[in-house]
Structure 1
């Protein structure tokens, strides 16, 4: 059976597309590699922020569902987005950077043998930066050549993210028995899981909580988290495996930039398995990536109507300037 590799992407919900573009590119230094729409709700932007080339495992994406209220963090949801930075010194730089830019953050702390820093965006979305100083396994992405962040401190990819549930035993069984994770550490009600010794780029943290209110999904919360496989044949193996496990699932989905399947391990939490390719530069050049609204071929005939229902905003790139 083909193994899951690590994290592929995380998709969150935001309140304001221009503001998240500014935050992700100017504050965090990520690359808007694709400006497109949610293929299941084409009146909603879908923005992809990645490393330089859009490598799987570096990708945080956002929806902006029109009229959606602010969400509430709580149990039975994905509750904190993880990023990786190169080392402990980078965390110190980020704390100062956040102070200069009025970004709310905590002090630097240590857990599971790695230093980390929590921070929040304008929607109160919850994030953490984790130091790769003692990391092993999967490498990070490529430095975005037009990033305002110095390369020695820049985010290198997605890292351990939080899933909070009140059905810990069921989640543990899905992760270990079905998906191939191994529980490698514990800190109180926090349990660290990892795929195949692949380090921070293949870890999630499960928080066991019976007392939190249920998560209410809206802007400032996470929609789903995706794990990577190499190609479509591997994905189809996983589709069969998930069906045989009797979990609610979507079946095969072609997103053009990757292929995937969605499934629910339990109440409220949505997982996805996605292929590493063909990638985000399939239909536009590096220089144009993220500048214009790009649509997959099966939506191109609807462009006029789609554009009429989106609020345009400027994502002109610094590339080549």
Structure 2
């Protein structure tokens, strides 16, 4: 059994309102679920994705007002990629970033793909990556209710980069436990350091890759606003989820055991460089409690939290996302 690819990436934000404005109004994502952090129901959890909230397209944020700065370093998910159709889309985004004064780099090659690096307002390191007809994990469905033309829309997650001091044990977990295979290398973006290693799973392509950057010169990352909390990988269904839960347990990795998130089933564990991984099922999906047409419009709570709605809403800070 193979993991299908990336499921979602979860990041910390100190300002949900501005986060919503950036990811929906500038990047053109759809808000597919407005809910709470199930482990801390006084905090919002916002999910952005494609038109259907498809697995493999979701970038999510935990809202923690007053969160401090991130100090980059090892033991981190140091960048998150977002897929677009082709290099023409990268040129569109280059001009859009200039228009909105978004910090960005130049179009350049990474792992033989055209890419464009940029940052959100909290310093989150993001990279647009062009598919250009490459085979692999299927892209998502563009959200057409935005001013971003559908032919240039963000259509899914691309590779995540893990920055570590010593890669060997992380590689071992990816390959021996999680079934990834090494599919290439490319030069370090930081100068005279080991080549970045590329690992793939499932059907491959940018939606199914993890890149490992070795940086023994860096201190350990100190998380804050804009830092990535965890990366989740796709498990197609509950039967295979049971298999992976057993496999992770037998590996000796400390893990959460099975966790019911209602929209998907999850399992969490830290690999040897202390980066948090999650395995998440594709099913049942975000339309299990809301019609596709109105995803993300109301505060959604899973059934096991619904009896506490009045209490939860009373403790949440007001959050007005309209026209922000």
TM bracket (short chain): over 0.9
Which whole-Å CA distance do the structure 2 matches of 1:267 and 1:201 have between them?
A: 23
Alignment of 1:185-224 (within 5 A): 185-188=184-187, 189=194, 190-224=196-230
**1:232 equivalent among 227, 233, 238:** 238
The aligned counterpart of 1:276 is 282
What are the Cα deviations for residues 143-172 of structure 1, in whole angstroms up to 9, with x where unaligned? 112122101111110001111111301011
Contact 2:13 2:67 in 1 (8 A): no
Partner of 1:92: 91
Question: Alpha-carbon deviation of 1:181?
Answer: 1.0
Q: Given the alignment, which residue of 291, 294, 309 partners 2:297?
A: 291
CA separation in 2, counterparts of 1:276 and 1:36?
Answer: 18
Counterpart position of 2:190: none
Counterpart of 1:159 in structure 2 is 158
> Is the 8 Å Cα contact of residues 124 and 226 (structure 2) preserved in structure 1?
yes
User: Structure 1 residue 249 and structure 2 residue 248: aligned?
Assistant: no
Shift, 1:196, TM fit = 3.6
Contiguous gaps of at least 5 residues in structure 1: none
Deviation of the 1:313 alpha carbon: 2.4
2:84, 2:294 → 1: CA distance? Answer: 27
1:250-277: CA deviation from partner (whole Å, max 9, x where unpaired): 0000000000100111233000000001
Instruction: Report runs of 4+ in structure 1 exceeding 3 Å deviation.
Output: none
**Secondary structure at 2:293's aligned position in 1?**
coil
Within 2, Cα distance between the matches of 1:32 and 1:305? 24
Once residues 233 and 202 of structure 2 are traced to their aligned partners in structure 1, the CA distance between those partners, rounded to angstroms, is: 13
How far, CA to CA, are the matches of 2:84 and 2:100 in structure 1?
Answer: 18
- Please give the alpha-carbon distance, in whole angstroms, between the structure 1 residues aligned to 2:55 and 2:101: 30
- Partner of residue 272 from structure 2, selected from 225, 246, 266: 266
Structure 1 counterpart of 2:102: 103
Query: Offset of 1:246 from its aligned partner?
Result: 0.4
- 1:132 corresponds to: 131
Whether the aligned pair in 2 keeps the contact of 1:136 and 1:200 (CA below 8 Å) is no
- Counterpart of 1:164 in 2: which secondary structure? strand
Give me the whole-angstrom Cα distance separating, in 1, the residues matched to 2:133 and 2:286: 31
Instruction: Tell me the equivalent position of 2:311.
Output: 305
1:48 maps to which residue? 47
Correspondence for 2:59:
60
Tell me the CA shift for residue 105 of structure 1. 0.2
SS at match of 1:107: strand
Q: What's the TM-score once normalised by structure 2's chain length?
A: 0.95
User: Within 2, Cα distance between the matches of 1:120 and 1:55?
Assistant: 24
Q: 1: distance between equivalents of 2:204 and 2:322?
A: 36
Using the TM superposition, give the Cα deviation of residue 288 of structure 1 relative to its aligned residue in structure 2, in angstroms.
2.7
In 1, the alpha carbon distance for the partners of 2:255 and 2:177 equals: 14
Residue 180 of structure 1 corresponds to which residue in structure 2? 179
Cα distance in structure 1, aligned partners of 2:108 and 2:74? 23
Provide the residue aligned with 2:191 in structure 1.
none
Contact 2:269 2:277 (8 Å CA) reproduced: yes
Task: Please report the TM-score for the alignment, with normalisation by the length of structure 1.
Answer: 0.95
Cα distance, 1:115 vs. partner? Answer: 0.7
Q: Which residue of 1 aligns with 2:2?
A: 3
Once the two structures are TM-superposed, the CA of residue 134 in structure 1 deviates from its matched residue by 4.7
SS in 2 for 1:94: helix
Structure 2 CA distance for aligned equivalents of residues 161 and 134 of structure 1: 20
